[in-house]
Structures are given as C-alpha cells and as structure tokens.
C-alpha cells in the first residue's frame, strides 16, 4: 500500500473526523506533491461530514465558514489553515466558471470525478491508503497531465482549467495528453468568461515555471493576449519563448519574463495589456520600466545596443543629462571607470532589484553579451553595498547648503545640484561638502 507522510495538523484533523464516524482524506495537490517527493504548501481535506458537522466537531472558534454553500470550512489547527470540503458533485456551469449548484455525496470517488486533472484527483488516508480511480499515480510516473474523463467537458465546466493545464505541465515539466491539449486549444475562446484577475494569476504562475516557453500555447495566448499575434507571427513568438526560458526562473524575475513576453508591444502597448489583465500598479510600473529601457527610445538602456557594446546613458533622477555613450566592461570585478559610471547612472534611476531584472532581460535578449551585463550588475551591487552617491539626495550638500554659500534659489539651484551630481558620478569631484561647495562656486561664477 502506498504510504504518504501526512502533515501533523492534517493527520490530527483526519483522526478527529474518523473518530466521529466520518470518512475523511487528504486530497488534491498535497497528495500529488507528496507522491512526487515534494513538500506540499497546503493540505486540503475532504470528508463525508457536512459543513455544519465539521463546525460542530471542531468548534466555531477554530472554524472559518469560507464556502458553506459549496461545502467548505477552513479549520485552524496548530497555526495553519486546512480547507475541509464535503464530498460533492456539481451541477451545470452556466457561466463557464462556477457550478450552479452542488450536491453532497457519501463517496469520495464521486468527488474526485469532478476534478480537473488526474494528478489532482487522488485522495489519501492512513487507513485506506491511496484512492486513485483515474490513474493519477501512473500519469505522474509518465510525466503526463491528463484531464479527468472527457477533457471537453472539464474545460466547458470551467475555462480557467485551460490555463491551469499549461501551468501544471510547465511547473513539473510534464507532457500534455494529446486529447487534453487538443480540447484546450479548441476551447481557448471560452476564456473570455474568466475574470482578468484569474487569468493574470495563472499567467504569472506559468511564467514562474522552470522553462515555460514550450507551454505558452499560441492558440491560448491569442485569446489572453491577442495583441501579441502569436499565431500570425510564429517565428517572432518562438523567439520570445526562447528569451523567456533564458531568464533564471526565480520569483524575482517573473516581471522580467513578463516584460520579455510583452516586448513586441513596446512600453505603451505593454501598459495597456497589463491594465487589461488588472495587474497591480507596482507590477505594471516595473514591467513598463523594463520595456522602456529595452525599447530603444530616447534615453533607453539599450539605445545603440544592436550595433555593438555601446549603450546610451539613462536619465538620472528624472532630469535629462547630456547624451553620452559608454562601453561596458567585459570582465566582472575589474576596475572600470566607464562601467562604474554606467552603473551609477542606472542606480540614479532605478533600485537594485530593477537593475537585476533589466540585466537579466538584456542578457536573455542578447546572450552574446551576457558577460558584459553580468559585469554591470555586479558593479551596481558593489556600489549599492558601498552606498555610493548616485542621486542628488545622496550628495554631501543640499539646497540649503548651496543657498548659504550664495547660490540663488530657483531653477538654477536644481541645475547646480545636478551638475554637482554629474561631477561626482564621473569622478571629477569627491562627494565631500567642501569640495562640492567649491565646485558649486565655480558653476555659479561661470
């Protein structure tokens, strides 16, 4: 018999339900992940007990009635939350997302039959072992994602399952059952009944997978992000997917991967698409900043990059500075005045996490220059650790100091501060009060 090590809190709740005469199991993702040797993040339970019986058994102080109409009670145990749902079948899905009604049933197998994919349609208890009526364990061994029963019916019930199909396959690097994949592609237009927030959530989880490129199905993306025209421009879309896969799969790099996907749209088009997906302001600003820098516009990070190693100097602190090109150093860690200046200019415009995403995106788009971008990131990290002066706010003098030294207030004051910052960034003046005041006196006299 297959044995799974249950989470202590889940085991205690299951024992309590069993002791009261109810059938109860761990179910879904926690069973799947346990069979894969992974540590489940959440433990969901299912039981023959009705919601009111669950609440009576564990007490109202430990229970949250999160979805009584669907049979779900969240039970607090040992500092964790456990969703506990009554075995159920579901009626029609008039809106393509939610069942019109549910019917509580006594058999866990009936409950498992309503679930999306076989690898998520398994239950477990210490007494009975693994309950696997649809071959989920075999599909795990075969590295396959397959719908429970008829895939068309599963996707017609809930169109969001189409995106979940690719997300699960990408997360584990599994293949997609041919019939299930064909149904997902055919029914992709049904995603128009899914909220933008849920589409965004699944898309971001997909982009967080190790190598999501092969799972960005053009027929589905054509519905979710029609602006990309993935089916009309297959070669361009394939290159986008390769670029995404070159970016290291960390949670911090999801905005960079999203920016890589949206690169053909430019800054304005990306912002429009992100707003349509109801992305947060923070994520929208981060992604569009990356788009702006790789887009080749005035002041962009990659202006002139296609023709060589030279890159344009970005705008520092929101104030335009004279156009100037610099050359990236090829060896990380080697003293390089030009590299230092470039890194300081970027730090004057962005925080270090954004610079890391920018260099990751640039390296993915231009892998032949990976060493140069790695050197730039390393220099930005060094300067941040040293609290190097990269912004007006970091100068050893401020506006009051300059006025006390005789600089007139008004627009000219800001110009002097910007000029002082420029001399500090380029190494012409140390960031010391006396030296800066002397330089300011020269600027005012000229």
Distance CA 240, CA 230 (A): 10
Phi, psi torsion values for 78, nearest 5 degrees: 60, 35
b/e 331-362 (16+ beta carbons within 10 angstroms → b) = ebeeebeebbbbbbbbbbbbeeebbbbbbbbb
- 392-444: CATH architecture: Orthogonal Bundle (1.10)
Closest-CA residue to 4 (of 21, 28, 367):
28
pLDDT of residue 399: 95
Distance CA 45, CA 57 (A): 15
- Indicate the pairing of strand 102-104 with strand 175-176: unpaired
Q: What is the DSSP string of 361-423?
A: HHHHH-GGGHHHHHHHHHHHHHHHHTT---SGGGSS--HHHHHHTTPPSSHHHHHHHHHHHHH
Provide the sign of the torsion angle of the four alpha carbons 295, 301, 305, 311, taken in this order.
Answer: positive
- Nearest 5°: the CA angle 60, 64, 65 is 100
pLDDT of residue 354: 97
Closest-CA residue to 293 (of 274, 279, 307, 313):
313
Q: Are 45 and 7 in contact (CB under 8 A)?
A: no
The domain locations on the chain are: 1-142, 335-386, 392-444
DSSP 298: T
Q: Are 78 and 14 in contact (CB under 8 A)?
A: no
pLDDT of residue 444: 73
Residues of the chain with pLDDT under 70: 91-99, 101, 296-337, 446
For residue 223, CA distances in Å to 193, 217, 238, 264, 271 come to 11, 10, 17, 17, 18
pLDDT of residue 1: 78
Q: How far is CA 180 from the centre of its chain?
A: 26
Q: Are 372 and 327 in contact (CB under 8 A)?
A: no
pLDDT of residue 316: 29
Burial class (CB in 10 A: 0-12, 13-18, 19+), 106: exposed
Q: Are 212 and 170 in contact (CB under 8 A)?
A: yes
Q: Under 8 Å CB-to-CB from 190, ≥6 apart: which residues?
A: 96, 155, 156, 159, 162
Helical H runs in 95-195? 108-112, 136-141, 151-157, 160-172, 178-186
Out of 3.40.50.300, 3.20.20.110, 3.30.460.10, 3.80.30.20, select the CATH number for domain 1-142: 3.30.460.10
One fold for 1-142 and 392-444: no
């Amino acid at each position: 018999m297959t044995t799974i090590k249950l989470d202590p809190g889940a085991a205690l709740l299951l024992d309590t339900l069993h002791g009261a005469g109810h059938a109860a199991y761990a179910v879904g993702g926690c069973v799947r992940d346990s069979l894969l040797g992974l540590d489940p993040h959440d433990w969901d339970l299912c039981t023959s007990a009705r919601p009111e019986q669950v609440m009576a058994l564990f007490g109202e102080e430990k229970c949250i009635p999160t979805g009584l109409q669907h049979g779900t009670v969240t039970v607090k145990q040992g500092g964790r939350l456990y969703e506990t749902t009554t075995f159920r079948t579901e009626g029609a899905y008039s809106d393509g997302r939610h069942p019109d009604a549910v019917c509580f049933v006594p058999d866990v197998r009936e409950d498992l039959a309503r679930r999306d994919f076989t690898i998520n349609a398994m239950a477990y208890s210490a007494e009975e072992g693994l309950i696997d009526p649809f071959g989920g364990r075999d599909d795990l061994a075969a590295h396959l994602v397959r719908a429970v029963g008829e895939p068309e019916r599963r996707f017609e019930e809930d169109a969001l399952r189409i995106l979940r199909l690719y997300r699960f396959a990408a997360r584990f690097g599994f293949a997609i059952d041919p019939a299930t994949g064909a149904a997902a592609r055919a029914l992709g237009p049904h995603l128009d009944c899914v909220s933008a927030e849920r589409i965004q959530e699944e898309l971001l989880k997909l982009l967080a997978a190790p190598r999501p490129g092969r799972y960005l199905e053009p027929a589905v993306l054509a519905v979710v992000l029609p602006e990309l025209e993935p089916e009309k421009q297959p070669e361009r879309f394939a290159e986008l997917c390769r670029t995404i896969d070159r970016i290291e799969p960390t949670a911090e790099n999801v905005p960079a991967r999203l920016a890589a996907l949206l690169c053909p749209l430019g800054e304005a088009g990306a912002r429009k698409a992100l707003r349509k997906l109801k992305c947060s302001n923070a994520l929208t600003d981060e992604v569009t900043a990356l788009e702006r820098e790789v887009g080749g516009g005035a002041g962009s990070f990659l202006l002139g990059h296609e023709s060589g190693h030279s890159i344009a100097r970005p705008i520092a602190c929101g104030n335009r500075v004279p156009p100037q090109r610099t050359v990236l150093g090829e060896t990380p860690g080697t003293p390089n005045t030009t590299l230092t200046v470039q890194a300081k200019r970027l730090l004057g415009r962005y925080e270090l996490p954004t610079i890391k995403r920018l260099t990751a995106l640039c390296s993915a788009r231009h892998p032949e220059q990976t060493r140069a971008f790695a050197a730039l990131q390393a220099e930005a990290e060094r300067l941040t650790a040293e609290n190097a002066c990269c912004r007006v706010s970091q100068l050893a003098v401020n506006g009051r100091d300059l006025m006390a030294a005789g600089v007139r207030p008004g627009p000219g004051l800001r110009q002097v501060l910007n000029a002082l910052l420029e001399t500090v960034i380029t190494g012409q003046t140390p960031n010391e009060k006396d030296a800066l005041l002397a330089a300011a006196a020269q600027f005012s006299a000229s």
